[in-house]
Structure 1
Amino acid sequence: MAAVHGVRALLSLHRSALFQRSFGLIPVQLTSTCLPTRLCSATTKRNKARPEQKNCNKSLLENLHLMGVDVEMARQRQPGVFRRKSLTNEQGLAEFLQSKGASSEEIASIISRFPRAITRSTEHLEERWELWRKILNTDSEMLSVLERSPESFFRSSDNKNFENIITFLTSLGFKTKDLQRLLVKAPRIFCGSLDLTRQKVNFLKDICVELGGTNPEQFTKTVLYKNVFIFSESIKRIRTNIDILRAYLGLGNSEMLAFIQGSAAKILVLSTEYLQNNLNSVELKMVSLGCQKADIQKLFYTYPVVLYISPATLSPKLECLLKVGIKVEQILETPRVLDYSTQNILGRLEQLQEVEYNFQKNGIGILDCSQKRFLAKMEKLKL
């Protein structure tokens, strides 16, 4: 019995030393005689008893605390990780990420937000990293994406699926620079199933054919370029949103085809409820300002992004513009002024009032320009 306790004590000592060494807590020099860490995590005939499993969980928690992981957050996000009876690889994960340039804080953050990362073997991590290197050029680029979206790297254990998705997207005409953009902007695309990815593409091709398009491949690529997050949403949502917009706008096939692969692509991923509620709210607001339905339809067609803006944000923007004498017709002609925050609009209006700017004579284009151009124009107006 004393011998068993002695082995456990030795394991505990080496485990603590390894983790403190990894994160710069003490300068421990390991030799080939060191025992591997967290042997108690492996399930054997001798350690199936409940007390041993509890000890293993406690050991895991101690290791994660040493690494600076927010264990409470990790438990809430993926509690199953803490009930595992098989080996976890937090030590190997930490060493792997450190070798790629990650700091201890970044590693702790990654595990806190996606604790399943500690279940991936070092061999799997190396293989996945090499696959990512086929798209991104440097370790720092890859770490940036991984730190922002750890799920994209650790969610799937199927490296072959990841490789198949790259092959499939390449077959659609996506070049390496396009894949880089996809991986940076919407990395979760690459951790979904190949079948679902193929279904989304086929769905878009079908939409093109349904609307009389003659080049489904180009249509699909154009839409995905406009909004890669379409890959992340359900076909049902996208189809419903298309139907809602077409019914309201009363567009013919060719007009709808152009609309979808134009500015409308950006709003196809909105929650259907949110889209419908905003459509109704904008309509009510514009009618109250004297607009006809044709005016509102034109607004949605030329500037569908207005449906992204919540009613609570849109109303103050419109009111501050109308208050200084700008006509609603001018807003309809230059709807991009609504892109800017209410604070930004108010600040510009205040500066323009100081120079007695005449919106009826000069228009409102000055409100729809970069800050640098706006300041340059203000300097000329003050002369």
Structure 2
Amino acid sequence: MEPGEAFGSEGLAACEVEVSSAQARLCSRRAARWAPTRAPPLARCALTTRSQAEKENKRTVEKLCELAVDIRKIRRFKGWVLLEEETYVEEVVSVLRQLGADAAAVASILERCPEAMRRLCSRRAARWAPTRAPPLARCALTTRSQAEKENKRTVEKLCELAVDIRKIRRFKGWVLLEEETYVEEVVSVLRQLGADAAVVASILERCPEAMVCSPAALATQRELWQLVCRSEQELVTLIERCPKAFFTIGDQENLRLNVQFFQELGLRNLVISRFLTTAPSIFHNPVENNKQMARALQESFLSRGGSEANMRVWLLKLLSQNPFILFNSPAAVRETLEFLQEQGFTDLETLQLLSTLKGSLFHLCPRDIQNSISFAQNALECTDPDLKQLVLKCPALLYYSVPVLEERIQGLVKEGISIAQIRETPMVLELTPQIVQYRIRKLNLLGYRIKDGHLADLNGTKKEFEANLGKIQAKRERPLFNPVAPLNVEE
């Protein structure tokens, strides 16, 4: 007998009524639980949207619709912005368009960051007001204030030269506020040197402070730079490469004396001209300080057994590789050399380390060097004589800090490389963990297991590694026999 037959149709209907009433009571009870605090998720979205329809700033919504901004997204995540009485939609859009943003970019920014158009609350405004405006507002205020205070004549001339004024306003807007500028004079000098319109515009965009250099100072600077440049074309190439170095006018007499000192020392004009763009600060260093440092290096070389004949070559090579060594003091040089001698390095080995590291040791204090070699000795499990040989093979052990050495040793061990292998080829510590992983992956693709082989295949520069990789691949693809060689068949 079926359950329905026992109760009959009336009993079944009564049961259905009971179930319906129970469900109704459950729903009312659940609704009572939700009502005092919040609506369920879906209902809450609907209620929020409905309430906003009456309270939203109609002007803000209309402007956003004109910009094709997705209002629903703003209502869903940051609907409170649309309730603000005062917003700055037009001002924010104006700033973004001045910076080069198209309509799609503007709409995307306002959708993802709608608070950009809100007004500042009184408390936050009070906090920002004495010091600065928030980032977006600051861009707008800076542009608006500059429009009134900028030197109109300067701006017009820059526009005629097709210079991007927005870039200057953004990074070095103070130049446009200067009452006296020398745009025409600077452009005239650059054109006399052979610079075309594009080069002139690029130089003024990247170094707008060139416009405040007086014609007299500019003429002197040009004369000094031409002492080491073979032609005007070479000079304009240097200025285009690093305009800030040319237009940063300091003590020009000191610059002249430094150029003469480097020429007397034996440095070629090509090297000195490279210093002007890559290490211009050494020319602002007093010439006497540079001379003292050069003498200290010469005395150090001679006191470590170097010969007079090789001293000049050694010094010029050291300065060519690392001109910033001139910023050190003679006392720091003596202290570093004495420390290396205390560690058991001979005079010849000390000079070898200085040459290999290009004088970088003078930038470190002996305590940092001691920490590095102590850590390397413990991590690589070696004795004092073994450590000395490791340093001679890999002088960078003296230069790298403890965190760098720890990261690289752990990276090698993680790849399955043993400490014994690292001791055998310490030069592998000059590679970053990322380079090690990449090279091991390349070798693994060729079926070469670095943990079973020699780390020399992992070592070297990028060019050397790729050449070695090609040899391994060619060896792997080489046939087992020479198909064109004659066969020795016994008749």
Give the shorter-chain TM-score range: 0.5 to 0.7
Counterpart among 456, 480, 490 of residue 365 in structure 1: 456
1:141 partnered with 2:237: yes
Partner of 2:42: none
CA shift digits 1:315-372 (9 cap, x unpaired): 2322232344434344344333233321111111123234442447642111123253
Partner of 2:260: 167
Structure number, greater radius of gyration: 2
Identity percentage over the alignment? 20
Give the match's secondary structure for 1:69. Answer: helix
CA shift digits 1:125-162 (9 cap, x unpaired): 13312322332452443124424xx256514231x332
Between Structure 1 and Structure 2, how many residues are aligned?
Answer: 317
User: Residues of 1 paired with 2:171 and 2:274: CA distance?
Assistant: 34
Partner of 1:223: 318
Letter of the aligned partner of 2:183 in structure 1?
Q
* Deviation of 1:176 (Å): 2.3
Partner of 1:244: 339
**Any stretches of 5+ residues in structure 2 without a counterpart?**
1-147, 478-491
User: Residues of 2 paired with 1:333 and 1:227: CA distance?
Assistant: 30
* Deviation of 1:197 (Å): 1.6
1:21 partnered with 2:157: yes
Counterpart among 309, 322, 328 of residue 233 in structure 1: 328
* Deviation of 1:179 (Å): 2.2
Counterpart among 66, 69, 75 of residue 168 in structure 2: 69
Give the match's secondary structure for 2:207. Answer: helix
User: Residues of 1 paired with 2:151 and 2:169: CA distance?
Assistant: 20
With over 3 angstroms needed to count, the CA separation of the structure-2 counterparts of 1:294 and 1:141, relative to structure 1, is farther
CA shift digits 1:38-76 (9 cap, x unpaired): xxxxxxxxxxxxxxxxxxxxxxxxxxx95743677788x
Counterpart among 189, 202, 206 of residue 109 in structure 1: 206
Letter of the aligned partner of 1:257 in structure 2?
L
CA shift digits 1:9-51 (9 cap, x unpaired): xxx999513432223389xxxxxxxxxxxxxxxxxxxxxxxxx
Letter of the aligned partner of 2:455 in structure 1?
I
Q: Over aligned residue pairs, what C-alpha RMSD do you find? A: 3.8
Superposition map of 1:1-383 within 5 A:
15-24=151-160, 68-69=167-168, 89=181, 91=183, 95=187, 99=191, 100=195, 102-104=199-201, 106-111=203-208, 120-136=213-229, 137=231, 138-147=234-243, 150-151=244-245, 153-158=247-252, 160-215=253-308, 216-247=311-342, 249-260=343-354, 262-272=355-365, 276-277=367-368, 279-359=370-450, 362-369=453-460, 370=463, 371-380=465-474, 382-383=476-477
With over 3 angstroms needed to count, the CA separation of the structure-2 counterparts of 1:82 and 1:241, relative to structure 1, is farther
TM-score, normalising length: structure 2: 0.54
Partner of 1:49: none
Give the match's secondary structure for 2:406. Answer: helix
Letter of the aligned partner of 2:340 in structure 1?
L
With over 3 angstroms needed to count, the CA separation of the structure-2 counterparts of 1:363 and 1:133, relative to structure 1, is same
User: Residues of 1 paired with 2:171 and 2:266: CA distance?
Assistant: 44
* Deviation of 1:94 (Å): 5.4
Letter of the aligned partner of 2:360 in structure 1?
I
Letter of the aligned partner of 1:21 in structure 2?
K
With over 3 angstroms needed to count, the CA separation of the structure-2 counterparts of 1:24 and 1:334, relative to structure 1, is farther
With over 3 angstroms needed to count, the CA separation of the structure-2 counterparts of 1:289 and 1:213, relative to structure 1, is closer
User: Residues of 1 paired with 2:221 and 2:186: CA distance?
Assistant: 16
Letter of the aligned partner of 1:214 in structure 2?
S
Letter of the aligned partner of 1:346 in structure 2?
Q
Deviates further, 210-219 or 343-352:
210-219
With over 3 angstroms needed to count, the CA separation of the structure-2 counterparts of 1:340 and 1:312, relative to structure 1, is same
Give the match's secondary structure for 1:213. Answer: coil
With over 3 angstroms needed to count, the CA separation of the structure-2 counterparts of 1:143 and 1:152, relative to structure 1, is closer
With over 3 angstroms needed to count, the CA separation of the structure-2 counterparts of 1:88 and 1:295, relative to structure 1, is farther
**Any stretches of 5+ residues in structure 1 without a counterpart?**
1-11, 27-64, 76-80
* Deviation of 1:285 (Å): 4.1
Partner of 2:16: none
CA shift digits 1:267-304 (9 cap, x unpaired): 234242xx633541442244133122222222323322
Partner of 2:487: none
With over 3 angstroms needed to count, the CA separation of the structure-2 counterparts of 1:120 and 1:157, relative to structure 1, is farther
* Deviation of 1:259 (Å): 3.3
User: Residues of 2 paired with 1:282 and 1:97: CA distance?
Assistant: 54
TM-score, normalising length: structure 1: 0.68
CA contact (8 A) 1:278 1:307 kept: yes
Larger RCO (CA under 8 A, 6+ residues apart): 1
CA shift digits 1:82-105 (9 cap, x unpaired): 999xx8545357536764454545
With over 3 angstroms needed to count, the CA separation of the structure-2 counterparts of 1:14 and 1:268, relative to structure 1, is closer
CA contact (8 A) 1:120 1:157 kept: no
Deviates further, 370-379 or 346-355:
370-379
